[in-house]
Amino acid sequence: MRSLPATDPIPASADLACVALRATAWADPVSVASAFADEVHACVLLSGADGWSYVLRRPDRVLEPSGDPASALASMLGAPVSLGDGPPFQGGVVGLAAYELSARLEPTAPQGRTGWPDLVLLRYPALLAFHEGGRRAFAVGRGPDARCAAARADAALSWLDVPRRRRSDGVLARSVALATTDADHAAAVAETVGRIAAGEIFQANLARPWRGRLAPHARPFDLFARLAAQSPAGYAAFLNLPGRALVSNSPERFLSVRPAAGGLWAETHPIKGTRPRGSDAASDAALADELRASPKDRAENLMIVDLMRNDLARTSAPGTVVVPELFGLESYANVHHLVSRIRARLAPGRSAWDAFLAAFPPGSVTGAPKLQAMAVIARHEPPRGPYCGSLFWAGADGALEASVLIRTVSLIEESAGWAFEARAGGGVVADSDPAAETDETAAKMGAILKALTGTP
């Protein structure tokens, strides 16, 4: 991957208080990003719940904080400032928190190393923002003064003129295979059910990996672009790091924080409960109805709702934690999911980063009680790296939007080409059937396998 120089350097603690917006013609963000997708630190965040997508390049500061991460984000953003009209994210920090960041937040959490950074923060002073529903697009620049902000916005506009790369056709994976057999995963589920019966835990999210290597002609961005076309997801993302790349097709919000009446409001959308899509409209509707009525899946979802309520309460004003939606149905290319919403107002003096760290890692991909479930997971899985961590953006106004990194492919550049790993898992509870849990992982991996090989 080629590295380009950063934009004009500014001091590490600079207050990026000035914003410049330049309206521009609508364009497809994936196509725009293809022009420089091989650059180190190129990033694409596709449409979340608010409908906005972002293309970013050339951060002016990159930080892999060591030790306690509590003050790391504030050191990158400076003092909070209010933003005007325009997209929710108007420049700031994009961060990748690996699952193993949990070991730095809680000494009793399982310790493990993967070669991926536990936490990397990238500050982008310019970006392109796209709203597909409104057919709107903006170039955004931030800086310590209006002149600098305007220059950066104008520079971002020029990204639209860079020749775009043709998307790769054909099979993207030279090889892909399960690293854990069906029998071994079913045995892990059965052992976990036994621990639940013994009263050790209530639920644990067990996953298993698929591993392989991209074809010589394929690049990580090709996989991202194909997933975006074939199986769009609310929190799809692409991030290039030196010698590594992340391709996420996640449907799940971890945490959203926005300024509103009374302060900062946080919301999380845990996913628990899954059925495959049907082969025709009638069978598809029947599977969705079966999921909505399933006592096992509703119980699985409710356990995580209770866990996330407790996690949000750690940084929220008393009495503000509510559940506006319980057991909602969301449908994607390969699966139906049960999704709930929990909302709370952060306590005075608490930031979005405080709420993120208090709730990390996401309860939907650990289990309950969280630390005990993580210990059970560590018995059956190698360290996870980005999988089940979070990719997020944090704005200068105190807002934050974070995904759960499920349906995610982690790629490492080696002498023989790009090696990749993708995992899929599910919540194991007292009445889980090992064979059904094993089948569920395959259903969840279907869209990624189709994008890699042409067949699910």
Q: Where are the beta strands (DSSP E) in 312-372?
A: 322-331, 335-345, 367-368
DSSP-H helix ranges across 270-366: 281-293, 295-313, 352-359
Exposed (0-12), middle (13-18) or buried (19+): which is 381, by Cβ within 10 Å?
Answer: buried
Distance of alpha carbon 76 from its chain centroid, rounded?
Answer: 20
Check the CA dihedral 186-188-194-195 and report its sign: negative
DSSP-H helix ranges across 134-244: 146-158, 182-197, 220-230
- The DSSP 8-state label assigned to residue 346 in this structure reads B
Count of residues in the chain: 456
Q: Which of 100, 272, 300, 437 is catalytic?
A: 272
Q: What is the CA radius of gyration of the chain?
A: 21
- The DSSP 8-state label assigned to residue 179 in this structure reads S
Q: How far apart are CA 437 and CA 440, in angstroms?
A: 5
User: CB count, 10 Å around CB of 455?
Assistant: 8
Q: Which of 100, 252, 421, 437 is catalytic?
A: 252
Q: How far apart are CA 206 and CA 388, in angstroms?
A: 11
252 carries an active-site annotation: yes
Residue numbers annotated as active site: 252, 272
